[in-house]
Every structure is written in structure tokens, then in C-alpha cells.
Structure 1
Amino acid sequence: MISTTDTAIIGAGPYGLSISAHLSDIGVPHQVLGEPMFAWRNFMPPGMLMRSEAFASDLYAPRAGYRLEDYSRRMHLPYAPIGMRLPLERFIEYGLWFQSQLVGHVRPVEVTELRRQDGCFRLSLSDGSCLIARRAVVALGLKGFEYMPAVLQGLPSPGVVHSGVFGSLSWARGKRIVIVGGGQSALGLAALFNELGAHVRVLIRGDTITWNKDPDVGRSLISRMLSPEGGLAQGWYPYVLSEFPYLFRAAGQRLRRRIAETSFGPSGAWWLRDRVVGKVELSMNTSVEHVSVHKSGVVLQVTGGDGPATVTGDHVVAATGFRVDVAKHAFLSPEIIQALSLVDGWPELSGHFESAVPGLYITGPAAAMSFGPALRFVYGAKYAAPCIARHIRLRHAAEGGSRAFQPQGAPQVLAEGGADAQLHPPPAFQGVKSPAE
């Protein structure tokens, strides 16, 4: 079965849902492909707290009433913009509520191939169907970009696993867990594993851990003027990076790379310190030289301030971050990958998030080298969603709208349900269960 639409959004996370809400508001037919909040529901450990402050954890609609604060008020849940420990489960439930209110046209399918065809995009889907679209928006997160150091590569799972592939951690009770890394992911997992009853040791390359400062709630007006609260952190530098991504893009590629590589390095959230320090074994100045997996467990040869040592565990978790490489998206055809002209895996994007392939937009973490570190977080959708939607609307109008779009060989239908189905939200919210229910 072949259907058509103006715009296909690949990904139904915070970026994809926010872009869809804006496109619906301005009348651009589109389809969202993917399960809503899929990565958050399946690859994040239950009990995790969001690193960003609550005010920086919104999905973005074109009109008021759909922020996390609005959802919390509606559900009679406590809310504070700063200083609130926001559970992962609350964020997921909020995202599903946002989707239920504003994004009714989600197809829970995977894109198996995206390629160019006759000036459009042909998307092959996991349910065997095909979608042809004028435009495509890749709105995915970090899944698939997990970075594994050479010393840990090629080792069998579950002996050695990356921190980006976890769901439930219940399997770790009573186990010996060795975590390699010193940032938020490493420290957050260390706290959760320890609280589940695992024996945890964290191997950190540096000589210290950078802890984020406790939030300063109730600051004076002068204090807020001298050091404004940005979506990334407090202070003028993070505020500018948070609120004005187009200024980051205006910088030269060399300066952008320097900012991206030196800003907001590994650190731990303010609410983690008391859950880690004094409760988990932390080994500083430690480098992993060799790892082997045996039936009895995993053996690591490490060097540190006290010289060579052997560390053993049942599992090793590589909390070693992510490295964007758009070529790792297996659904992108070789022709599209080649046309993107990637630089170290990063796509160069226009001021509207359009790639070197006309009509193909890329947003989320893969856009961070073009628009700054805010795009690595949910907060970046505040800028990306309306920016992309405005550009698509102008293109859509210039091309004569929906009725002018009829690719060769496609059926005489805009999309499943017709054009009007794309413009109306679903029935009123009746309650969203958490993924665990």
C-alpha cells in the first residue's frame, strides 16, 4: 500500500511531537512515524530523574496550555520550575498526554528505508507499506550513537553494555557492577544500581567529579539579571546558547566545534551528590587498559594513581557518552548519506535545519554542531519546532498546497484519512497510563 503526505516526521519523541503540533496548527498535512516517547519508555531506567530543570523539560506547542506546568496542574501534581526533582515517569506521562491532545496522527512504525524518488522521498515502513512525502524531518535522539571506547569494543553483552541501552535495572540486584565514566549517566546509574542492592564501583579518568551547583530558588531580580537562568544552566553564557541557537550557527565551523567540545562537559546533577558520595566506590585517575569476559565475570586491567590493578565484576557498563554520526542511521539510503556531505558524522544544516539534501530536515542532537548544545536536550525543541514548521509552511504554500502534490504512480489520496485528518487533534484527554501499567 502506498500513501502520500506533504511531510513525514521520523521520530515521535519530544522533537517530533513538538514539530507535529506546530505543523497541525498551520495546516500542513503530515504523518509522524514511530511510537510516542519510545526511547524514553524503553531505554531509560525507571526511577531516573531528569537532569534538566522542570521549566526546561517542556514539549512545545504553538499555543498556551501544554507545558509540563499545565499538565502537572491538571493532574494535581506538585510543580516548581527550578529545584524540582522531576521523575522520568512523570516526564513520559506528560509526553504521552501532549501527544494525546495535539498529535493524533501517529503511525507506530519504523522507517526501514528513506530514499529520494522523483524529487520526493520514498519511505519504506516496517508494516510493509510505503509513504511518499515531499519533505522528511529526521527528529531522532541519541539512539544508535552510543560511543564505546576501543578497549570495550567487540566484547559480548550482557557482560559489557553501554549505558544508553537500559530499561529496567532489576537484574542488577546483588550483582557486581563496574561503571566506566564520570558524567551524569555514570553517576546516575551508580546511584540507581546502589539503591537496588548492587555492589557498584565507578572508574573515572579525571581527578575530580564536577557537580552542578544546587539551584538558587527565589533569587532577587538583580541576581537574575546578572546571571539569568537558561535552559542549559545559569549565567549569561549558557543563557545565550540556550535562547539564541542562531547565534551559534552564525559562528564559523572551527569556533562551533571548540564550543561544542569544551562546553558542558561531564558532570553530575545537584541531586545526585548525596546519593553517590560516600555510598559508591569511586576510583579517580583510572584508565582501563584491557578487558576480558569469562564465565565467572568480567576482568579489567586498570592503571591509576596506585599503579596497575585488577578490577572484577559481573557486568561492565560503559557510560562513555555518544558520538553523533548520521551515517549510522541504517534507514538512510547510501545516496542520501553521500549527498549529506557529513563532517565527522555531523550534517551541515541551513538556518531552517534543512540539510544539503533539499527537503530533508534534521533536528535534535544531530543538529547540535549547527545550532549548539541546547539541541542535545529537550529544551532545543523550543527553537527547532517553530523554525522548521515555518519553513515547511512557506514551501508548502509556494508549491500550491496539498492538491498540487501528486507524485507519479501514487494513489489519488493525500494520506490515510485524507488531508482533513491531519488538521484536527484527537478527542479530549481521558488519562494516560504510565509505561509500567
Structure 2
Amino acid sequence: MYDLLVVGAGPYGLSIASHAADAGLDVRVFGRPMASWRDHMPRGMFLKSEPWASNLSDPRRRYGLAAYCERGGMRARHGEPISVETFASYGLWFARHAVPDVDERMVASVGACRGGFEVVTDDGQAVRGRTVALAVGVMPFVEIPSALHGLAAEHVSHSSHHRDLDRFRDRDVTVIGGGQAALETAALLAEQGTRVRVLARSRRLSWNSVPPAWKRPWWESARAPHSGLGCGWRNWFYAEVPGGFRRLPEATRARVSASALGPAGAWWVRDRVESRVEVLLDHEVVTASVAAGRVRLATVRNASGGPDFDTDHVIAATGFKATSARLGLLAPDVRGSLEVNAADEPYATVEFESSYPGLFLAGLVTASSFGPAMRFVHGASFTARRLVRGVRRSLRRGPLDAHDRQAPSGNLASRELDQVMPSANG
């Protein structure tokens, strides 16, 4: 039986595995490394995060993005976006050098067994571990507006469903959303000859400004410090002190995690959108139907009747919603025992353990506990350090019987009190 089974081999899963192996744990990782970045982002996209904020995490800090780029004769400089292809290749390099061998099979289910958990792979093999870390990325949490639910896959897709956009050449596509995914997808479509429009509920688009120079006068840095989530003290707190964010009142955490760092386009995509893409603001799709092989979208504008649009395909660039109900690989008894907030987002302790003892959470699903940093690669380092510490504590605690594992809210609270509270950055 392994000490730790890591489900997912993206930035969070690989970082957790690297820290766990360095801590002497017997760890096994499942998943195709960097699958979301390799399979679900079109060619030509770039990371919105700064290169220095896009490192996967190994305990000795030998395998950062800059080190990979330097070895390949590339640059990783502040203010210069890194392509998705480069980042995915970096993640594969990290997996080869900083992580135990990755089992590239996908996990079909995670359930409890005597002394721990049983993970069943997609080919039916069962592997057991004392603890499990779910680092499943964003793909289980795809959010498509309810007005589009009745459309078949040939007529609607999520922006994360496309490795390339070639099949939309010379067609008409409507992109729903006003954030980076919507705007960059629309720009790529327009540049390949697709007739494309963007529908956004907001009354104006938000654009991130060009980041200030890395080296600045001290008074400028003091007023708006750099952070892994952008400049400013608020962003610095979200990026650099997620442990402190965890101590905020639950209502505050929920509000901030839902609203902070809202939809915005990167500075380097703005000209590409404004010069080539039709953008219709303050529009919301209320119904969608198919006639003669095309999609008819009925919209409202300013809460009143809006125009209808006929289009060949709708791409919903409408983000992700990390609810416990969408953790479908968890056995029903495990998933049903998770403590959640009002939005059905699972709680996590200060060491990323869920209310189900021995089951740890990582990535987007922990944003309501640890803040906006968990939506970005930048949060992987904090998560890996803190989570592995929690795994080691869980292993010392030993296996729990069925009654203890199913205990409701008091069980989570008692484990919070039992943990030694680390520093906010620890």
C-alpha cells in the first residue's frame, strides 16, 4: 500500500508528487502529464501569468521554468508571455526530472478501503494507498450556461474542449464570455479566417495593463508590489499569503474567491481583438435552438429584448465551477460525506485535507478555502508544501475506522485544532 496516491499530473499533481518523494513518502502519480495544457488549449495561446509566476514546485527549486528555458536556448523574462506549447513542454521536463515515474492511466474511481483508499484505473486495476491527493485540474468543473444545455456537441462546446480551432475555418462562430479565454479564442479564430463575434454580459471589457518594469524605484514598488497574481497589495496578499486568506471569515472567503481577479483580457491580445473581432457587450443568451443545421441564439440586452443571432457553432468560454457534485470519480459515500459551503464547494483544512480523513484536495477546488491563487499555477508551491505536511501528519495519525471516517462536521473542526498552525507563508 502506497503512502500517497496523487490523482492528476498537471502542475499541482506533479508539484505535490515532487515534494512527497523528497519527504521520503512512497508516492504514485496517475494521469497524463500536463494533459489539460497539451490537449485542451489551442495552438497559439500564451500564458497570462508572468514566467516567474509559472513555476512548478520542487523542494530544492532546481526545476523552474527559467531553468528549462535556459537549457533550450529560450528566454523566460518578465513582461514577455510564454506560449502554452512551451509551458506544456516544461511540465513534461519537470515530470522527467523531479517526479517519480508517472502512471499515465486515467483514474476511473476513488473509494475507501480498509486502511486507506482504493484507486481504480480506467483499465480496471485497483491500487491502494493510505492517503489520496485529488489534483484533477479544471476539466471536471467545466461550466456551460444553462441556456445552451439543449444543444448537441456539434453545435456547442467549451473553450477548453479544443486543441486546435482548424475545424472552424471559414465558418461562423459565436464566443460567449468576456475573459481571457473568450478573447484569445476569438482572436485566434479571426486570424484564421473564421467569422467570429463575442457576446459578453458585462457592459465593458476589462484589460490588464502592461506590467511595470521588474526593477523600479522603491516608492513605486512599495505602492504596488509585484506578485504572482499581478501588482498591488491586494493581489500580493492573495498570491503570497494564502494561509492568511484561509483565516478570513468564511463569508469573506466565499465572496472574494468568487469575485477577485474577474474576467479580463491580457494586454498583448487587446489589439488583436479590437481590430478584428465584433464584440457585443451587455448581451446574455436566454434561449438557443437549432434550425437548418445552424444555432439561433435569442439574447437580452439591458434586461430587455435583444437581437437574435444565427451561427454555426457556439463556444462557451464561461469558466469553471468547482463543486463537490462534479467530483464524479469519488465513490458516492466518500463524495457524500464531504463538508461543503453554500456553493457546494468542499472545505479544506489548513493542510488541504478534506472532511473525509486522508483525502486531500488541490487546485481550483480549494479556491474557496485558500483564495484566488489556487486558480493559477502560482498556487502550486504553497499547496505542495502544506499538503505534504498534512499527508505526513495523517500517516502518523494512522488509519481510521469507518465510524471515524464518516463523522460529520465536528471531525473536521477537531483536526483543525489538532494541527499546529504554521505561519501564513509556511
Residue of structure 2 equivalent to 1:417: none
Q: For structure 2, list consecutive stretches of 5 or more residues without a partner in the other structure.
A: 400-426
Question: For 2:327 and 2:273, how far apart are their aligned partners in 1?
Answer: 35
Residue of structure 2 equivalent to 1:158: 154
SS in 2 for 1:271: helix
Query: Is 1:90 the counterpart of 2:86 in the alignment?
Result: yes
1:74 to 71, 74, 85: 71
Following TM superposition, by how much is the alpha carbon of 1:307 offset from its aligned partner in structure 2, in angstroms? 5.3
Structure 1 letter corresponding to 2:369: S
Structure 2 letter corresponding to 1:59: L
Residue of structure 2 equivalent to 1:65: 62
Structure 2 letter corresponding to 1:354: E
- CA offsets 1:351-399 (integer angstroms, 9 cap, x no match): 0000001110001000000000000111100100011112223444565
Structure 2 letter corresponding to 1:187: L
Residue of structure 1 equivalent to 2:317: 319
2:28–2:100 CA contact under 8 A, matched in 1:
no
RMSD: 1.6
Question: For 1:394 and 1:38, how far apart are their aligned partners in 2?
Answer: 30
Following TM superposition, by how much is the alpha carbon of 1:346 offset from its aligned partner in structure 2, in angstroms? 0.8
Residue of structure 2 equivalent to 1:44: 41
Residue of structure 2 equivalent to 1:407: none
Residue of structure 2 equivalent to 1:193: 189
Question: For 1:354 and 1:393, how far apart are their aligned partners in 2?
Answer: 11
Map residues 331-346 of structure 1 onto 2, 5 A cutoff: 331-343=329-341, 344-346=343-345
Residue of structure 2 equivalent to 1:426: none
Question: For 2:24 and 2:48, how far apart are their aligned partners in 1?
Answer: 34
Map residues 248-327 of structure 1 onto 2, 5 A cutoff: 248-304=245-301, 308-327=306-325
Structure 2 letter corresponding to 1:88: V
Question: For 1:295 and 1:233, how far apart are their aligned partners in 2?
Answer: 47
2:107–2:122 CA contact under 8 A, matched in 1:
yes
Runs of 4+ aligned residues of structure 1 deviating over 6 Å after TM superposition are: none
2:169–2:194 CA contact under 8 A, matched in 1:
yes
SS in 1 for 2:139: coil
Following TM superposition, by how much is the alpha carbon of 1:289 offset from its aligned partner in structure 2, in angstroms? 2.4
- CA offsets 1:312-356 (integer angstroms, 9 cap, x no match): 111111111111112212210111011112222211111000000
Map residues 17-416 of structure 1 onto 2, 5 A cutoff: 17-80=14-77, 82-217=78-213, 218-304=215-301, 308-343=306-341, 344-396=343-395
1:182–1:205 CA contact under 8 A, matched in 2:
yes
Evaluate the alpha carbon distance shift between residue 346 and residue 272 of structure 1 in structure 2; reply closer, same or farther with a 3 A threshold. same
SS in 2 for 1:60: coil
Evaluate the alpha carbon distance shift between residue 289 and residue 394 of structure 1 in structure 2; reply closer, same or farther with a 3 A threshold. closer
SS in 2 for 1:89: helix
Question: For 1:228 and 1:318, how far apart are their aligned partners in 2?
Answer: 34
- CA offsets 1:129-170 (integer angstroms, 9 cap, x no match): 111110000011111211121211121112111112111111
1:50–1:88 CA contact under 8 A, matched in 2:
yes
Question: For 1:115 and 1:284, how far apart are their aligned partners in 2?
Answer: 46
- CA offsets 1:62-105 (integer angstroms, 9 cap, x no match): 0132110111111110220x211210000000000000111132
1:28–1:396 CA contact under 8 A, matched in 2:
no
1:341–1:347 CA contact under 8 A, matched in 2:
yes
Structure 1 letter corresponding to 2:354: S
Question: For 1:308 and 1:390, how far apart are their aligned partners in 2?
Answer: 54
Question: For 2:26 and 2:229, how far apart are their aligned partners in 1?
Answer: 33
Question: For 1:151 and 1:307, how far apart are their aligned partners in 2?
Answer: 15
Evaluate the alpha carbon distance shift between residue 179 and residue 216 of structure 1 in structure 2; reply closer, same or farther with a 3 A threshold. same
Evaluate the alpha carbon distance shift between residue 77 and residue 262 of structure 1 in structure 2; reply closer, same or farther with a 3 A threshold. same
Question: For 2:317 and 2:128, how far apart are their aligned partners in 1?
Answer: 39
1:25–1:62 CA contact under 8 A, matched in 2:
yes
Evaluate the alpha carbon distance shift between residue 72 and residue 397 of structure 1 in structure 2; reply closer, same or farther with a 3 A threshold. same
TM-score (ref. length: structure 2): 0.90
Query: Is 1:6 the counterpart of 2:6 in the alignment?
Result: no
Following TM superposition, by how much is the alpha carbon of 1:50 offset from its aligned partner in structure 2, in angstroms? 0.6
Question: For 2:291 and 2:97, how far apart are their aligned partners in 1?
Answer: 51
Question: For 1:127 and 1:35, how far apart are their aligned partners in 2?
Answer: 14
Question: For 2:202 and 2:142, how far apart are their aligned partners in 1?
Answer: 21
SS in 2 for 1:340: coil
Following TM superposition, by how much is the alpha carbon of 1:108 offset from its aligned partner in structure 2, in angstroms? 0.8
SS in 1 for 2:48: coil
SS in 2 for 1:69: helix
- Structure having greater relative contact order (Cα 8 Å, sep ≥ 6): 1
SS in 2 for 1:144: helix
Residue of structure 2 equivalent to 1:405: none
Structure 1 letter corresponding to 2:43: P
Structure 2 letter corresponding to 1:231: G
Question: For 2:356 and 2:100, how far apart are their aligned partners in 1?
Answer: 29
Question: For 2:136 and 2:120, how far apart are their aligned partners in 1?
Answer: 17
Percent identity among equivalent residues? 37
- CA offsets 1:95-120 (integer angstroms, 9 cap, x no match): 00000111132111121111111231
Q: For structure 1, list consecutive stretches of 5 or more residues without a partner in the other structure.
A: 401-437
Question: For 1:397 and 1:282, how far apart are their aligned partners in 2?
Answer: 56
Equivalent pairs counted in the alignment come to: 396
Following TM superposition, by how much is the alpha carbon of 1:123 offset from its aligned partner in structure 2, in angstroms? 1.1
Evaluate the alpha carbon distance shift between residue 398 and residue 322 of structure 1 in structure 2; reply closer, same or farther with a 3 A threshold. closer
Structure 2 letter corresponding to 1:182: G
- Judge which range, 133-142 or 323-332, deviates more: 323-332
